[in-house]
Chain A
Amino acid sequence: MGYLTIDSLTKKYGDLTAVKSINLKIKQGEMVALLGGSGCGKTTILRMIAGFIEPNAGTVSINGKVMNNIPAYKRNVGIFFQNYALFPHMTVIENVEFSLKLKKMKKAEIKEKVEYILGLVKLEGKGDSYPRQLSGGQQQRVALARALVMEPDVLLLDEPLSNLDSKLRQEMQVEIKRIQKKLKLTTIIVTHDQEEAVSLANRVVIMNEGEIEQIGEPGEVFNHPAHPFVAEFMGFSNFMEGKIVRKEGKEIQIEVAEGKVMNQSYDRADELAVGDAVVLTIRPEAVLISKTEEDGYAQGKIVNMTYKGHNTMVDILSSFNEKVQAINVDMVLPKEGESIYFAFPSDKVIIYKK
């Protein structure tokens, strides 16, 4: 029994099923990331937990108590909105103390709590400013403080870092993690950024079209995605479809096109059999490239190179007419149009049965 339990939760909008019978159990103090593209239902789940929308079926329970018929304002679920949703007519302090005043807390107690929380998000001295006078990062921390000060049973973060520049983003990632641990908050974070999900959460839930594709620890989902969809979401590319035509120990041969066969060694080759239709994938940064022919390398031609600052994306057309993407960090590369050799290391490829 989880602290926050979602049981066959379903939400339909007309013919469209936004959330399809989702089950999820979250332990107290755990931080779980809901990861998925836009329209995958992750925000809908968040809004059902907060109580803003009613599920068509299924239940949300917090600490063993079914929440379905309890209105949002009685749930004690803190939510951080993607656009912050700060009250523009209230100062930082008024925004933060909003929930405490409603609880009819004593003035001195409110003051103490607000000061503590503003210190925690490093906003001392900004209490009398209005949201419009603050920078995006500061507004975001006010929104976080406002959700934290009510000491919520569950904290929901909706794309908390999406509007920030990369430096502020990293700072806030550290901050959120630190505060979440310190206050031992049961937290759900919704994001479309796989790096954000794996760096913040204890567990990652990958969603697609209203369904859960995979649940696992960050390392697990990042390195061992369960389906090609999850793999693509986790940054895998070079998807190649084919059929296994020969297998000897770790060495397998995949026919990627009529008469075109690719040799590949694979650590988990025993899961596969000759005749299986498969999809092979590997991250571009795991592809080995070389200017000279080496053992186990295949030949190809550079068709395009994109310089990205700290690395270069190399698009290769292989001799069996497949497109291969590799990331090169510091090698001096041949020119576009010239030939190059590449290999997929046996421990870095994943082969899915279709």
Chain B
Amino acid sequence: MSTSVQPAIDVLIARFPDIEFAPGPLMPRDKKEDEQLCVRVPPDRLLEVMRFLREDPRCSFEQLCDLACVDYLNFPNARNRFGIVYALLSVSRGYRLWVKCFVNDPDPEVPSVTSIWWGADWPEREVYDMFGIRFEGHPDLRRILTWEGFEAHPLRKDYPLHGRGERENFVVVPREGA
């Protein structure tokens, strides 16, 4: 059975008293033990907090389970546009923690955590590809799922489901002019 992640959050708050972590559940639940806890970290402090979370034996989040991005454009009461969600997992202790980092237009950028968890390599490239968020310090930040010449970021909320880039909208180039 998984243990509570609360002690690790307390350690984190004690270590960085100047950061407003705003710890809380992703979603309130009736049973407290079902809640998935989440902390917020500003992008400029992200690397040191993440390094602490991985290396401190009281936290020991050895694995970056997932890295995703959510575009909160049009989301009710949202104040920031992009939320990058790091799902951390402690394999030795069996608990999880979600870390959120909010960035905004123009030029959204966060530091890359590939130096802490190698497993962040492709997920960061995917977020770059799909949302256009640059990861500073990533060794090989290229598009991963779409092709190299592709210009848009399809998972942004202002990218339509239909129409853009579809076959009938392609420019047909005659063979001689190609």
Q: Do A and B come from one complex?
A: no
